[in-house]
Amino acid sequence: MELVHATLTQQRDAIARGDVSAVELTQAYLDRIAQHDPALGSYHEVFPERALKTAAAVDAGEITGPLAGVTLGVKDLFCTDYGTTTCSSKMLAGYRSPFTATAVQRLEDAGAVVLGKTVMDEFALGSSCETCAHGGARNPWDTDRVPGGSSGGSAAAMAGSLAAATLGTDTGGSIRQPAALCGVVGFKPSYGRVSRYGMVACASSLDQAGTFTRSVADAALLTKLMAGADANDNTCADRHVPEDLDAVDTPVPGLRIGLPKQYVLEGANHPAVQAAVDAACALYRDQGAELVEVDLPHTKYGIPAYYVQMTAELSSNLARYDGVHYGHRTDRPTTDPAELTALSREEGFGDEVKRRIMLGTYVLSGGYEQQYYDRALRVRRLIRNDFDAAFDAQGAGVHAILCPTTTGPAFKRGELIDDPLAMYLNDVYTVNVNLAGICGISLPAGTAQVDGSALPVGVQLIGPAFGEQTLLQVARQYEQHAGHTELRAPIG
């Protein structure tokens, strides 16, 4: 069924017209998952009976809404009151949540059909989807390569047409980086735009729910439906949600695109990535946009500040998994509560999780809070100030900032897993967006030939806090003219 390769909105409209039934389309996706996912490993758990029952209710008119019959894959850190929520970790193996995350619930209330839970780097810690306790996902463009992370399963499922759209989370680039490596649209809204209630926490002040889609319009629709105040999450902003599907096609008058001079890293980018950014600049210039250099002087401090703050918050959040109240409990005999906790964590957490817990615990330990954590918070404020100045609406600020999403195409599985520093540097273009709490989107920008394989590359657009409406309009303008909307992984 060719419709499985179409956009979410095209599928929704086809169901509404009666061109295809929700059951037929849902079954087509379930068939594709059965056929292709053994090689991709993008899903941890699939819910065929529940999905088909929901689809049948859509066809019977019992479930309606702006997403009626549209299929979704959900990252395995969104709690659902069906199936399991494991964060791809042995620590939460078999965990069944008594409630559903707000973001997922709102999409289901709009008529969406959840196909299953997608795999991820354990507790969202990783850039390659190789730290997963379930084996990890593979890139549909070349299964010897990573799909990116931590939302690698969601990106791989989207690129492989194993759902109409998927949900992910972005703490330091975990939506945008895998979107670029898999050739799909990855959108991270501003911090506070979408409720975090029911998302298992990694770093609470950085985590944000977002989407993987075929088009900017699909991202706009899903964000509109997920966003808005939530009484269960006091960090969710009580602000008007302006995102509207129809407005995405409206060009931004007097468009100004910022080019950050600190993002020009000599020799750091793959030639195809630099060519994609150059082509995007030319596209916007041809459309009448003004391109201006912007100064983000504290950019170089982003990676160290991020890895101090993120690991500190992670250490605090994962302290609850003690083998007593939460999570995996060792079977090894012991009468010492401290030993019980130590053994449970040793067995339940993977190496990358342990590494980051130790780093975070260190920077929070006595005598080091001010030297590391407090300093990272001050740097975070300076980074936000840099972006605020660039977007200054009262002066000659820009509407969006254009830069790479990643330094290159997808790397091979196992290539960086034993080099944590090299892995962390994958986030060089993405972490500052999270530190500043602003919005960002990665867009497919063509392919690069690497070792005989065509691999996707992406470009990134960054917008101000709660500037999603304008950012999506700017992104749509690129999408309309760049010619990459039909980019598809070669898996049939």
* CA distance to 22, 112, 154, per residue, from 4 (Å): 12, 15, 16
- In a domain? residue 417: no
Mean pLDDT for 464-468 is 95
pLDDT of residue 486: 86
Q: Give the global pTM.
A: 0.96
Residue 372: DSSP 8-state: I
pLDDT surpasses 80 at 394 = no
Strand partners, 194: 227
pLDDT of residue 245: 65
Whether 412 is a known active-site residue: answer no
Question: What does the block give as tokens for 333?
Answer: 């005999």
pLDDT of residue 395: 67
Closest to 197 measured CA to CA, from 90, 97, 69: 97
The Cβ of residue 449 has, within 10 Å, a number of other Cβ atoms equal to 10
- In a domain? residue 38: yes
Contact predicate 195/102, CB 8 Å: yes
pLDDT surpasses 70 at 120 = yes
- In a domain? residue 419: no
> Which of 5-19, 58-72, 223-237, 317-331 shows the lowest per-residue confidence on average (mean pLDDT)?
317-331
Q: Residue 113 — φ and ψ, nearest 5°?
A: -110, 115
Q: Is the peptide bond before 150 cis (omega within 30 degrees of 0)?
A: yes
Q: In sequence order, what are the residues at sequence separation of 6 or more whose Cβ sits closer than 8 angstroms to the Cβ of residue 230?
A: 102, 195, 197, 236
pLDDT of residue 487: 87
Question: What does the block give as tokens for 418?
Answer: 């034993």
Mean pLDDT for 123-131 is 94
- In a domain? residue 178: yes
Tell the burial category of 407 from Cβ atoms under 10 Å away from its Cβ (0-12, 13-18, 19+). Answer: middle
Mean pLDDT over the full length of the chain: 94
Give SS3 for 425. Answer: helix
Mean pLDDT for 20-31 is 98
pLDDT of residue 419: 77
Q: Which tens digits make up the pLDDT trace of 364-393?
A: 988 788 889 999 999 999 999 999 999 986
pLDDT surpasses 70 at 327 = yes
- In a domain? residue 90: yes
CA distance linking residue 335 with residue 178, whole number of Å = 44
- In a domain? residue 152: yes
Helix/strand number for the chain, H first, E second: 15, 11
pLDDT of residue 267: 67
Contact predicate 401/386, CB 8 Å: no
The active-site residue out of 75, 117, 188, 224 is 75
Q: Is 192 left (phi over 0), alpha (psi -120 to 50) or beta?
A: left
Whether 21 is a known active-site residue: answer no
pLDDT of residue 393: 64
* CA distance to 89, 92, 263, 346, per residue, from 334 (Å): 23, 21, 53, 14
**Relative orientation angle of helices 216-226 and 8-17, to the nearest 10 degrees:** 80
Domain that holds residue 71: 2-251
Closest to 86 measured CA to CA, from 46, 132, 153, 143: 132
- In a domain? residue 104: yes
Q: How confident is the model at residue 243 (pLDDT cuts 50, 70, 90)?
A: low
Q: How confident is the model at residue 452 (pLDDT cuts 50, 70, 90)?
A: confident
Mean pLDDT for 312-316 is 96
User: Could you identify the residue written with the tokens 């970790």?
Assistant: 89
Question: What does the block give as tokens for 275?
Answer: 């060519």
Q: Which tens digits make up the pLDDT trace of 224-235?
A: 999 999 999 999
Q: How confident is the model at residue 241 (pLDDT cuts 50, 70, 90)?
A: confident
- Locate all alpha helices (DSSP H) within 42-162, ordered by sequence: 48-59, 102-109, 152-159
CA distance linking residue 124 with residue 168, whole number of Å = 10
Q: Which tens digits make up the pLDDT trace of 397-421?
A: 999 999 999 999 999 998 887 777 7
pLDDT surpasses 90 at 1 = no
The active-site residue out of 42, 174, 215, 344 is 174
Could you tell me the CATH number of the domain that includes residue 236? Answer: 3.90.1300.10
Whether 354 is a known active-site residue: answer no
Mean pLDDT for 253-258 is 96
Share of the chain above pLDDT 90, in %: 85
The active-site residue out of 42, 88, 89, 150 is 150
Into how many domains does the chain fold? 1
Handedness of CA 247, 251, 256, 259 (dihedral sign): positive
pLDDT of residue 384: 97
- In a domain? residue 55: yes
Question: What does the block give as tokens for 475?
Answer: 């992104």
pLDDT of residue 268: 75
